Amino acid sequence: MDDWREIFGFYAALEGADWLVQAIAKMPAGEKRQKCLLLLRQIVKEEKSQVSQPELRQQLDKLLATTQFSGVAAAKISLEQRLQQMIRLDNRTEITASPITWAEYQRFLEAQNTGQFHSTAQPQTILPEQLDLPVTDISEEDRKWFCAWLPTQTSLQVDDVLFDYDLPESQHYQKTGIVENGQFYIVRKAIHPKYDKLVNYLVSASWREADQETYRLMITTVGKEEGQWFDRADLENFPCEDLQTLDQLWVNYSNGKWGFSVQKRIWEECGSPMEYNAEWERFGDRVGWRKDGGWLNYDNQTFDLEKTLSGEFPCGWVGGGGGVCFGIFSLAQRLVDCSTSQP
């Protein structure tokens, strides 16, 4: 169907999508019609091709509502609908009103198995009779991988809005009355569009680019230019929302392996050193910024999720891990301050 999509998309871009609606409406019911209808839906939604006549837009909506999709198409559409019918928690946060199904989770596993996404979730044997049932009995780690995969789905994107997906916390269930019963719900939070480039790098496992973009976002946030570095006051007064967003994105897309909060935990486990000493060196060893008794240059860092140590990234904001790695204790304290200042 990839060839058909190119053909549909080409002519829809030239002439609009009205003729496609008319052609598909005349097709007999069956798998071929399902696939063509799904392609049309993707072209209209993702490539912004227009159905100009109101009656044809209504006809397309009716076809989508009345067609009994099966297989991958059904899972794709049900996931889109689930994320269109979320319960609002506040002005930026929503939770799914119903749990994720095995059919939807299977799409994520297929993306992982084909190398389209960098996750390492456990394989699952999903029987046909399970597809419409809620996902249960998978680890929190694998659920977080699913959340990290969602932004790769262009059909779930909303114009001019950038979302971060995560697992619900107890207060989210309490606020909605949803029973926390082991089923798989998702929280979606709108974040500032300035993080779009960083999210794209993280989603595609472009770790070096993500690290460099993190530095760029941080240095411009404190009012400095690229090429400059932070002083202690910059980090001790770094805006909480920006710091927490950057940390959460790194934690989510590395499944808890990287992020400022991970670095903070390791720094505390090394004795919370405030100056260059043996504890600083132990911290550098723990996060992979030191090797064989010496500090690594930035270009010698290994930008590989499987081969690196916990807490290794982001590191571009400290100059690549060399020397004293200035700023860790300032940013660690800022994370504490930001956490305790939340209502």
CA distance 73 to 4: 16
So what's the pLDDT on residue 72? 67
Number of H helices, E strands in the chain: 15, 6
**pLDDT for the residue 323:** 38
pLDDT for position 239: 95
Identify the pLDDT of residue 84: 86
The Cα–Cα gap between 217 and 246 comes to 9
Q: Residue 56: which of 17, 26, 12 has the closest Cα?
A: 17
Judged by DSSP in three states, 239 sits in coil
**Predicted model pTM:** 0.81
Amino acid identity for residue 321 in this structure: G
> In degrees, to the nearest 5, what angle opens at C-alpha 258 toward C-alphas 288 and 111?
120
DSSP class of residue 223 equals T
Do the beta carbons of residue 185 and residue 213 sit within 8 Å? no
Residue 83: how many other CB atoms lie within 10 Å: 19
All structural domains of the chain with their residue ranges: 2-68, 72-191, 204-341
CA 338/CA 245 separation, integer angstroms: 12
Beta bridge partners of 101: 134
The verdict on whether omega for the bond into residue 314 sits within 30 degrees of 0, i.e. cis, is yes
Alpha-carbon span 38 to 56, nearest angstrom: 16
Going residue by residue through the chain (343 aa), what tens digit of pLDDT does each one get? Answer: 455 667 767 766 767 778 888 888 888 887 778 778 777 777 776 555 577 788 888 888 888 777 766 666 678 888 988 998 899 999 999 999 999 999 999 999 999 999 999 999 999 999 989 998 999 999 999 999 999 999 998 878 877 789 999 999 999 999 999 998 899 999 999 999 999 999 999 999 999 999 999 999 999 999 999 988 888 889 889 999 999 999 999 999 999 999 999 999 999 999 998 888 899 999 999 999 999 999 888 888 899 999 999 999 998 887 544 334 557 888 888 998 888 655 4
Tell me how far the alpha carbon of residue 75 is from its chain's centroid: 19
**296 contacts 290 by C-beta, under 8 angstroms:** yes
Q: Report the SS3 class of residue 275.
A: coil
The span from the CA of 288 to the CA of 315, in Å, is 10
pLDDT at site 340: 67
What CA–CA distance (Å, rounded) separates 193 from 158?
12
- All residues at 6 or more sequence positions from 281 whose CB lies less than 8 Å from its CB, including other chains: 290
Distance between CA atoms of residues 309 and 109, nearest Å: 25
DSSP codes of every residue in 57-95: HHHHHHHHHH----HHHHHHHHHHHHHHSPEE-SSSEEE
* Nearest-10 crossing angle of helices 240-253, 140-149: 110
Alpha carbons 182 and 246: distance in angstroms, whole number = 29
Give the integer Cα–Cα distance in Å for 86 and 84: 6
- Name the DSSP class of 23: H
DSSP letters of 309-339? PTT--S-GGGTSS-TT-TTHHHHHHHHHHHH
| Gyration radius of the chain over CA positions | 23
